[in-house]
Amino acid sequence: MSNNEDDDHLGAFKLKVIDHFQVSPPQGSVPTSSLPLSFFDFPFLVSSQTRRIFFYEFPYSTNHFLETVIPCLKQSLSLSLQHFFPFAANLVFPTKPKKPHIHYVDDATSSSIPFTVAESTLDFNHLVADYSRDISDIYPLVPKMPPALALEDDTLLFPLMAIQVTVMSNSGFAIGTNFHHIVGDGMAFHHFMKTWASASNRLIRKKAPSESREVEEEEEGIHNSLPIFNDGSMVQDPNGVELCFLNHWWNWGPKVLLMVGSARAGQHLTIDLLEVKATFKLDKNHIDKLKHWISHKSQEAKEKEELASLRLSTFVVTCALIWICLAKSEQNTNMENEDEELYHFGFLANCRSRYEFLSIPWTYFGNCVAPGYVTLKRRKLVGENGIVEAAKAIRNKVKELEKDGVLRGAERWLLEGMEKAKSKHHFVIAGSPKLSVYETDFGWGKPIKSEVIHDRGSVSISLSDCREKNSGGIEVGVGLGRDQMNHFAEIWEQSLRML
């Protein structure tokens, strides 16, 4: 049951903790295992946790929810973890020269996921709305990550995932997830979530005799999509990038960096009450017009030849629009040389389909993404042809990754990422429409909404598919200060009216 400390801490957020559990794979289903990290994983060693919330409609009482939904979610989670056991494991960070790795022990007290059940009096319809909402309303739905454990030999153990399910009586519920990016990228995470959702769905349908045979056939076929883990040889490192990354961490004092991250992870962050979250949508018609608009403006700017060879993909034009809206929405500080300020835009490219990594299947579990950064001066972004400049820069980077390979300059990923993160004009896109977030059905229908939640003080930008599949559109999640959000929304709407 809940304890007084949790109730006192969360009371201001209109949320009451009902129960705590530790969920692990079925006993004996997973042997004690250690997984090495690849050079794709190392850049995320001290990254902040990744937080996502799935909202589902459920017009029934809290008691009905606790009696029907929670047992199903817990059982299906346990069954799914036998295939995705790294989420229940720990990140082990030993002293130099030993390498960090992920370690699972067949012991529920050592390897499990904290699973919190809570009830909230917040308005469900308000939480899932597209308009601006205070982050302070949404953040309590995200579970707290347990703190790190320090062993006698100075080895650090970091839990890798926490889950919280919050019910809003007679309205709906939210499944909040918090996981360390070191364990896997977005494709690995959503593979796990869909497997968990599918297992929950099958448990519900098994109770219906007419569907039991179909469920058995699904269970026979599920093994074709089980995750494949790194055995130390699957991800090749011909350029010695891993050793380069390890030397960086050992030189920078990883214990200090990781202890800071652990201290922050063990508590809810203080939320800036002025920070808000909103969702902006682009349907297929918007996207087509956006491509035409950028092409037209490029011709007006006499840059037709320069852009002629660039394919204006949906990703490129969407990111270009986001970038210029972010730049224009910032308050003008009238500082000297403001127009010369550098603006950085980052994204992650999935490497599973790259020719260099054809041996890595789509079911590979871990990180298999490479960063792409583009930089422009403010005057170019906010100028008359800013969207052309943004589209050109982003498309050139995509083309460069395709032509030269994602590993070119990989040894600089850590330093480049940390350097750009120091800038106050640093934006990074999370998520992807290709991850099909809205296909995560636990048996009570598709999510009515899904949100990515970032740390306080950081600009939050995410992409996903739309719940309405036939729209062919994209959802853009944006987290900003209240004043900047108002400016961003005005500029966004003005841009769409110009299409």
**In this structure, which amino acid lies at residue 135?**
I
Query: CA-to-CA distance for 275 and 23, rounded, in angstroms?
Result: 33
Sheet holding 161-168, edge to edge: 15-23, 113-120, 161-168, 172-179, 50-57, 449-453
**Whether residue 181 lies in the annotated active site:** yes
Query: CA-to-CA distance for 144 and 176, rounded, in angstroms?
Result: 10
Q: Which of 180, 181, 248, 286 is catalytic?
A: 181
Q: How many C-beta neighbours within 10 Å does residue 213 have?
A: 9
**In this structure, which amino acid lies at residue 341?**
E
Query: CA-to-CA distance for 113 and 161, rounded, in angstroms?
Result: 6
Q: Which of 134, 237, 272, 441 is catalytic?
A: 441
CB-based contact 179:161 (threshold 8 Å): yes
Token pair 């308050």 is at which residue? 331
Token pair 């930008």 is at which residue? 461
Token reading at 495? 């841009």
- Residues acting as catalytic residues: 181, 441
